[in-house]
Amino acid sequence: MRYCWLVLIILQMQMSISIMIALLKNINRNDKHCLMNYIDSAFFIVKEEKIVYNIKRDEVMDMCYLDTDIPVELFQRVLKKKIYVDKSMLIDKFNDFIGSEDCYFCITRPRRFGKTINANMLGAYYTQGYDTRELFKDLRIAQTVSYEEHINKHHVIYIDFSRLPDPCNSYEEYISWIKYCLQDDLKKGYGIEKVPGEPIQNLFEKTNEKFIFIMDEWDSIFYKDFMQEKDKKAYLEFLKGLFKTQPYVELAYMTGVLPIAKYSTGSELNMFREYNFMNDTIYEDYFGFDEKEVKELTQQYPKPSFEVLKKWYDGYYKSDGTSLFNPRSVSLALQKGKCKNYWTETGPMNEIAEYIEHNVDEVREDIVKMVAGIPVEVELEGYAASQLQLDSRDEILSAMVVFGFLSYHDGLLRIPNHELMEKFQRVLKRKSMGGVADIVNNSKNVLDATIALDGQKVAQYIEEAHDREIPFLQYNNENSLSCVITLCYLYARNSYEVTREDKSGKGFVDYLFTPKKKGYPAIILELKYNKSVEEAIDQIKKKNYVERVKDFDEILLVGINYSTDADEHKHHDCIIEKYK
């Protein structure tokens, strides 16, 4: 009996080995981890996920870039996510240009706006290496005329330029690895050997094939410390040689954060059409979520509500002025059921903060105005971030738009939403912001004095802020006064929803403080310029500004006036009343 069991075990092992051999023969894997997922499924049946694409090659060829399964695997993962918004009609847009003279596209957007997801989608759709119809059959692209014409009909070169060899301490190591991978793929796929000194484009020509190039994060190498000016020029020349007027290019799609033109001083890559946040009227629907898409998502996942999501993550604009949301933050909020700041702390935000801190006063003034809710007028058309060494106001503000920290429409700059507002408020607290930081860090005392009904103390704090002689806080209009009030009450935003010029009752209130926590009074604050605090309080009462906060047990009315004719050391007055 014991021997019978032993024979059965041996037979099972042989069957398992046969299964593994069959898998190895029929699965083309670039990634050992992915292969192990398949082996796990075959041996242990621990996964019930449906394999939604089929292998078309007859043998295993460990490709780096040529018809690799990387975009297929990554796009399949996206489709399995809880939150997915169908952007597949972007494919139909590009299908029209395959094989034409106008087949070069560079689309730049801030990080987290869907560039890589779309790159993976395009790679998965076009590749000849795999049958991916199961991935696309339920997407909008499947209903188009061009769908069958191009799905799995093209050789795809997919390169993620942000992936570096290990080690990588120089541009030469970086570009040598990319060239080696391309040469090795063409050798495996077509048996083409490289002659020493032969340019890479010659190898592509020898294949007598045409290729679609999908290149993600093309500009990522520019952020590396080892990159020098000569390296940047060499990189542009490499891309020029690979793409410009090459008959083997059917379509070239590049993504990045910063535009090509701002790196290139000549005509190296002028064949690419560039589309960014400020000039894109054609592909803007495919990067970010619009209001309709977010509303549809909240019907499936009701928490957080659409209104809360809009406050936190809206604030970007399409060319027609309609809303655009940060897609990554919306997705994470719906997955976690909670709005919070999902913007990463590292990277360009810290770099931009340094430019705000150490550069021209104009930029700091603009930021303070926008934190106060005042849009900044600026003409950014024609500007973009050419490098990370930014010198002028226009360059710094342009970089903030490119990185997604500010929104720009109709000549006006704004801080887009609550998520980014939190970031800028933190920047204002940094010691290197000098007098501005001192005012902000004293703002808790201003709020405490307000709640204690100590109008004299509030006026004193505001007077001290004014006396710091920060150039852009010297009052010449009511907006300047508003900036000082915003800084003086910045701490209040921890416990209050603070809105400016909110339509309420019969007019507009300058500041409305709506408590987010129990135990805090609602506050209505009215500013006057060369008038009186009594007029401010009287206006609050006559125009029924309390309508918006009538449900709170305690309401404070605050009137503040700035007088240019007052005594040299007392320009501000403040009175605070409890509403009865």
Is residue 353 domain-shared with residue 419, that is, in the same domain? yes
The answer to whether position 35 is within a domain reads yes
Helix runs in 314-347, H state only = 327-336
Is residue 109 domain-shared with residue 212, that is, in the same domain? yes
Helix runs in 193-289, H state only = 200-206, 229-243
Is residue 448 domain-shared with residue 552, that is, in the same domain? yes
pLDDT of 38 higher than 80: no
Contacts of 180 (CB under 8 A, 6+ apart): none
Q: What is the CATH number of the domain that holds 94?
A: 3.40.50
Is residue 196 domain-shared with residue 88, that is, in the same domain? yes
pLDDT of 125 higher than 70: yes
- More confident: 284 or 12: 284
Instruction: Note the residue count of the chain.
Output: 580
Using alpha carbons, list the distances in angstroms from residue 418 to 287, 312, 341, 424, 497.
Answer: 20, 5, 9, 10, 10
The answer to whether position 366 is within a domain reads yes
Q: What is the CATH number of the domain that holds 521?
A: 3.40.1350
Residue range of the domain that includes 26:
17-49
What would the pLDDT profile of 13-24 be if each residue is shown by its tens digit? 444 434 333 433
> Strands 522-529 and 555-562, how do they pair?
parallel
The answer to whether position 86 is within a domain reads yes
Bridge partners (DSSP) of residue 489 are none
Is residue 84 domain-shared with residue 44, that is, in the same domain? no
Bridge partners (DSSP) of residue 108 are 256
Identity of residue 322: T
Among residues 413, 433, 453, the one where a domain terminates is 433
Is residue 408 domain-shared with residue 308, that is, in the same domain? no
pLDDT above 90 coverage of the chain, percent? 46
pTM, 2 dp:
0.80
**CA 556 to chain CA mean position, Å:** 39
Q: Which residue has the tokens 């009315």?
A: 557
Q: Which residue has the tokens 């292969």?
A: 35
Which of 239-248, 424-433, 495-504 ranks highest by mean pLDDT?
A: 239-248
Identity of residue 286: Y
Query: Do the beta carbons of residue 115 and residue 406 sit within 8 Å?
Result: no
Spatial separation of the C-alpha atoms in residues 425 and 337, rounded to whole Å: 25
Phi then psi for residue 512, to 5 deg, are: -120, 120
Token pair for 282: 């054609």
pLDDT of 120 higher than 90: yes
Is residue 249 domain-shared with residue 266, that is, in the same domain? yes
328 burial class (0-12, 13-18, 19+ CB within 10 angstroms)? buried
The answer to whether position 55 is within a domain reads no
Query: Do the beta carbons of residue 463 and residue 415 sit within 8 Å?
Result: no
Bridge partners (DSSP) of residue 377 are 412
Is residue 177 domain-shared with residue 272, that is, in the same domain? yes
Spatial separation of the C-alpha atoms in residues 189 and 191, rounded to whole Å: 6
Closest CA to 256 of 281, 221, 211, 225: 221
Contacts of 483 (CB under 8 A, 6+ apart): 365, 368, 369, 372, 374, 472, 473
* pLDDT band (50, 70, 90) for residue 403: confident
Is residue 90 domain-shared with residue 185, that is, in the same domain? yes
The answer to whether position 54 is within a domain reads no
Bridge partners (DSSP) of residue 215 are 159, 254
Is residue 538 domain-shared with residue 422, that is, in the same domain? no
Token pair for 69: 């399964």
The answer to whether position 56 is within a domain reads no
Spatial separation of the C-alpha atoms in residues 567 and 539, rounded to whole Å: 25
pLDDT at 568: 59
Token pair for 364: 């700091």
Is residue 332 domain-shared with residue 428, that is, in the same domain? no
Is residue 317 domain-shared with residue 405, that is, in the same domain? no
Domain count, the chain: 5
pLDDT at 321: 87
